């Protein structure tokens, strides 16, 4: 979240255009998304967990050095390398979380989805904890002085330590499908063809992609709202601080929603949650330009339930529908979805430029409602069948 939360300061520091600022937010999804399927396939092929730790180390090094960029192209180079590392990290670690969850959490959850909850914990740690600390930390360090952003380089060290710990603790986790997963795949195949299951995963991918598009589009529009609220009365660092606060509230909402839905949702009820979150979050997003003062923070918190709360749930469902391809399904639902969702900030920037901020928020609200509608197309029969698997 360093680059996203500092985009207003980077725009001022490097004299970027509004389109270049939107691209900085968009490129995160493109690079991290496109790198995921490649390294998910390589990890499966080589039967290794190395890419998770390697991706984290590369991401920590490159993203922490953005304060040293002197030009837009230097910044893009650091961002591309760093976000590629983030993309490499995700499919490996989501597959590990999904594999370890049933054995670690089943007794504690009392019959609810242990796999879904383990993925919820994984994502809540990233978007809820890291996503909250990231914008607050980055914008406050940046506000220290004209070169405060360079102090972000210190954050490479905890990133490298975490990468080492990740490799030490996950390198021996079984990678290829185990016997239980093979039996689960055979049992599900007796009820539905693999083609039908891939169609269901395709609908999950479409719904997730719409949610990710809303996610990134809102991250850009929050900057525009901060600029509007502080028009003529704030510096670039002040705008970045307000933008960072809204982003932090949104990230907390992402983490809390993932944990709440993961903890309370039993197998077989995923479709209902996906529909409800999409339809109920849409009016909140539509009303955001009309919300004044501190109320924007809870609005951002609630909107996150729509664009993120069911993402771990959808990954859990996809892994159970295709238990022989957990790394691949994760890279499709997240990686490919993130790559396409890079259009979110660009769409938001163009609509806001042509018709104003309220119109841009309205477009994202429609996309949010559509994500819920797409989830309604997923076969109830398949979801009930997958509910029998861990």
* 123-151 burial: b if 16+ Cβ within 10 Å, else e: bbebbbeebbebbbbbbebbbeeeebbbe
DSSP string, 273-286: HHHHHHHHHHHHHH
Q: Mind listing the pLDDT tens digit for each residue in 325-339?
A: 766 777 788 777 878
Q: Are 132 and 252 in contact (CB under 8 A)?
A: yes
pLDDT at 187 over 70: no
pLDDT at 147 over 50: yes
pLDDT at 357 over 50: yes
Which residue is associated with the tokens 């360093």?
Answer: 2
Q: Which of the residue ranges 256-260, 273-277, 299-303, 345-349 would you say has the lowest mean pLDDT?
A: 256-260
Q: What is the pLDDT of residue 342?
A: 85
- Ranked by mean pLDDT, the top range of 31-45, 48-62, 108-122, 174-188 is 48-62
In 3D, which of 115, 108, 95 has the Cα closest to residue 43? Answer: 95
**Tokens coding 287:** 């009303």
pLDDT at 181 over 80: no
* Average of per-residue pLDDT across 181-205: 75
Q: Which of the residue ranges 3-7, 151-155, 265-269 would you say has the lowest mean pLDDT?
A: 265-269
**Three-class secondary structure of residue 144 per DSSP:** coil
What's the CATH number where 131 sits? 1.20.1250.20
Q: What percent of the chain has pLDDT over 70?
A: 91
Question: Residue 54 belongs to what domain range?
Answer: 2-386
**Tokens coding 300:** 């951002």
Q: What is the mean pLDDT of the chain?
A: 85
Q: How many helices (H) and strands (E) does the chain have?
A: 19, 0
**Tokens coding 332:** 């499709």
**Tokens coding 66:** 């953005």
> CA end-to-end span of the chain, whole Å?
33
pLDDT at 239 over 50: yes
Q: What is the pLDDT of residue 264?
A: 77
- The confidence band for 282, taking pLDDT boundaries of 50, 70 and 90, is very high
**Tokens coding 16:** 């970027």
* Average of per-residue pLDDT across 309-331: 80
Number of folded domains in the chain?
1
**d(C-alpha 178, C-alpha 105), whole Å:** 18
pLDDT at 317 over 70: yes
For 62, what's the count of Cα atoms within 13 Å in the CB-facing half-sphere?
20
The DSSP code for 328 is H
**d(C-alpha 61, C-alpha 51), whole Å:** 15
Q: What percent of the chain has pLDDT over 90?
A: 39
* Average of per-residue pLDDT across 174-186: 54
Q: What is the pLDDT of residue 111?
A: 47
Distances from the Cα of 376 to the Cαs of 156, 206, 276, 277, in angstroms? Answer: 43, 12, 10, 12
Q: Mind listing the pLDDT tens digit for each residue in 16-36?
A: 998 898 888 888 878 887 887
pLDDT at 217 over 60: yes
**Tokens coding 171:** 């390198």
Which residue is associated with the tokens 């850009």?
Answer: 220
Contact residues for 183 (Cβ-Cβ < 8 A; gap 6+): none
């Amino acid at each position: 979240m360093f680059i996203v939360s500092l985009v207003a300061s980077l725009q001022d520091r490097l004299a970027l255009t509004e389109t270049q600022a939107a691209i900085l937010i968009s490129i995160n999804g493109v690079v991290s998304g496109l790198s995921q399927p490649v390294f998910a396939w390589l990890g499966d092929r080589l039967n290794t967990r190395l890419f998770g730790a390697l991706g984290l180390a590369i991401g920590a090094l490159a993203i922490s050095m953005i304060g040293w960029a002197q030009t837009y192209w230097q910044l893009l180079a650091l961002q591309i390398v760093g976000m590629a590392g983030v993309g490499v990290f995700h499919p490996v670690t989501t597959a590990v979380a999904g594999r370890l969850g049933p054995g670690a959490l089943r007794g504690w959850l009392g019959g609810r989805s242990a796999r879904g909850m383990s993925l919820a914990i994984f994502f809540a740690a990233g978007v809820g904890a890291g996503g909250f600390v990231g914008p607050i930390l980055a914008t406050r360090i940046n506000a220290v002085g004209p070169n405060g952003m360079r102090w972000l380089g210190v954050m490479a060290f905890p990133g490298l330590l975490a990468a080492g710990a990740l490799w030490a603790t996950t390198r021996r986790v079984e990678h290829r499908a185990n016997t239980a997963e093979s039996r689960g795949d055979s049992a599900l195949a007796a009820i539905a063809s693999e083609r039908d299951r891939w169609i269901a995963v395709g609908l999950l991918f479409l719904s997730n992609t719409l949610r990710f598009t809303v996610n990134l589009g809102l991250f850009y529009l929050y900057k525009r709202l901060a600029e509007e609220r502080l028009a003529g009365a704030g510096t670039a660092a002040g705008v970045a601080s307000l933008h960072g606060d809204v982003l932090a509230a949104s990230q907390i909402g992402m983490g809390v929603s993932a944990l709440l839905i993961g903890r309370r949702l039993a197998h077989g009820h995923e479709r209902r949650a996906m529909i409800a979150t999409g339809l109920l979050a849409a009016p909140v997003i539509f009303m955001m330009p009309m919300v004044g003062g501190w109320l924007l923070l809870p609005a951002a918190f609630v909107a996150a339930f729509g664009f993120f709360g069911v993402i771990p749930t959808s990954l859990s469902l996809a892994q159970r529908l295709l238990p022989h391809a957990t790394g691949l399904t994760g890279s499709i639902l997240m990686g490919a979805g993130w790559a396409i969702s890079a259009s979110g900030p660009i769409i938001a920037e163009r609509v806001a430029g042509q018709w104003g901020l309220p119109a841009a928020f309205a477009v994202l609200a429609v996309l949010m409602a559509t994500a819920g509608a797409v989830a309604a197309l997923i076969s109830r029969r398949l979801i009930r069948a997958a509910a029998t698997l861990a």
